A and B are shown apart, each in its own frame.
Chain A
Amino acid sequence: MPRLRVQELFSSIAESHPQNCAWRQPVSFDVAPGECLCLHGPSGAGKTLLLRAAADLDRSTGSAWLDDVERQALPAHEWRRRVAYLPAESAWWFERMGEHFSTLDPDWLQSLALDPRMLTQRVEDLSTGERQRFALLRSLIQQPGALLLDEPTASLDAPNTRRVEQLVTRWRDRHGIAVVWVSHDAAQRRRLTQPQGPLQGPLQGRQLRFAGGRLLPPGTRP
């Protein structure tokens, strides 16, 4: 049951390019096992840079723990396997979709309304939304302890958005992983964080706004 703890994290990219990003100072946050932390905030606030820094994709200062393991204590690739960052746009390196997966549970495909025949198709022949759903499955297969999702449903229609929400929720319920979910959709953030919402369960969720370089509870002004 992994807990993600981020302390005094500050992306060196944000620090060296202040004209591109409003993130000005280190931030700290904590995501409990099975919790979903929903992040939102204006464009250019640094949400993507925050997730990239937590995944150690960009240089950053500060520290990050998954349970009691600090990221520096692990080889970088092992940290990124455990703290899986899913970018807003998926990218693929083999010609056919199926080549990216060694194993794939047919139930998962079904839960995201993906047809197994798509696995034999060329990646470029699938739609953006289909590729994005496959990318989520690719992240789950690496069995991360924490999942960092950067607007994972931005290219999806309403039914598929719900399917992704349900799959991620089921997954964090079963494995107790920590989830950080960047979303611009207020209704989606409510669905993901309300314990009595449509996604029933003992799960907790929290919303934070990332603005002016700080993480703020909803409703407060920077």
Chain B
Amino acid sequence: MITLDALDLGLAAALVIALAVLAWRLQLGMTGALLVAALRTVVQLLLIGLVLRVVFAYVNPLWVALLAMAMLLAAGREVWARQSRRFTGLWGFGIGTSSLFISSFAVTVLALVVSVGPDPWYQPRYSIPLLGMVLGNTMTGIALAMDRLNAGAWNERRVIEARLCTGADWPAASLKLRRDAMRVGLLPIINAMAAAGIISLPGMMTGQLLAGAPPMEAVKYQILIMLLIAAGTGFGTVLAVQLAARRLSDARHRLRLDRLDAQAR
């Protein structure tokens, strides 16, 4: 495996800085956001590299669980932060995070125990990257779907209430809303699966190829990961959409916009 030194990374960093300078000269904005995000990626990845070195060195279930929890909470916060209209109180964080947890942890543990089968099953070299990939994609799906659902409920409140007024129950009155949210949440992974191998070589497979793995082994892992991500994202999004839609209504099938923040972000 060819290792990288600081100069190799510096070249890539110089490209991003050149881009930032260009954007600044053309007054296109995004200069600050680009530099901050690039800096974040460098610092965060270096830190996780240090953490992983320690966690991989000592195969301890407690450390694995701790890291997994930290990843879950960070993903849950990201889901919360990306919504323009959040549920008030703990619900804003709770619905997204619990859907994330149930779906991505169940899918990851199932894949570890049944498919990959490392020893022990929580072997961090396998469990942490696997969880990271499923969690990251599930997070995107849930964040997009919940944002669409809540914003849609607000924007289409007159239509939803008109349906309620004609005698529709909540599942019927909210069906279009839920379908829209589901579509928005699942489109990225569906596009990624459709493009895989033709338009793009997915990141994990690329990584394994760069590390010298035989192509067919890398492909088999990538197929496994793609399908796990699709299942994780799908189940997580279904769960989040159903829970959030339920929270948007009550026992008398009313539209309860008072449970959302009054101000859009």
A interface, CB within 8 angstroms of B = 13, 55-59, 75-78, 80-81, 84-87, 89-93, 135, 138-139, 142
Which residues of B come within 8 Å of A, CB atoms? 158-159, 161-170, 176, 250-255, 258
A206 to B164, CA, bound (A): 29
Residue from the list A56, A58, A75, A93 in contact with B169, Cβ < 8 A:
A75
Q: Which residue of A lies closest to B172 (CB)?
A: A77
**Quick check: B176 and A93 within 8 Å, CB to CB?**
yes
Contacts across chains A and B counted by CB atoms under 8 Å: 60
Specify which of A81, A84, A139 lies most central, judged by the most chain B CB atoms within 10 Å of its CB. A81
The answer on a CB contact under 8 Å between A93 and B252 is no
Whole-angstrom distance from the CB of B155 to the nearest CB of chain A? 12
Q: Which residues of A lie under 8 Å from residue B164 when comparing CB positions?
A: 57, 77, 80
By the criterion CB–CB under 8 Å, are B167 and A81 in contact? yes
Instruction: From B161, B164, B167, name the one whose CB has the most chain A CB atoms within 10 angstroms.
Output: B167
> When the two chains form their complex, are residues B167 and A93 in contact, meaning their CB atoms are under 8 A apart?
no
A188→B33 CA distance, assembly (Å): 60
Q: A76-B252, A76-B253, A93-B176 are in contact. Are A57 and B161 (CB under 8 A)?
A: yes
Please indicate the chain B residues that have their CB under 8 angstroms from the CB of A91 in the complex: 158-159, 161-162
When the two chains form their complex, are residues A90 and B162 in contact, meaning their CB atoms are under 8 A apart?
Answer: yes
Could you tell me the distance between the alpha carbons of A163 and B255 in the complex, rounded to whole angstroms?
33
Whole-angstrom CA separation of A13 from B169 in the bound complex: 21
Residues of A within 8 A of B254 (CB): 56-59, 76
Nearest neighbor of B250 in chain A, beta-carbon distance: A59
Contact check, A87 vs B252: say whether CB atoms are below 8 A apart.
no
> A52 to chain B: closest CB distance in Å?
9
A17–B159 alpha-carbon span in the complex (Å): 24
Known: A57-B254, A58-B254, A76-B254. A87 touches B162 (CB 8 A): yes
Residues of chain A within 8 A of B170, CB atoms compared:
77
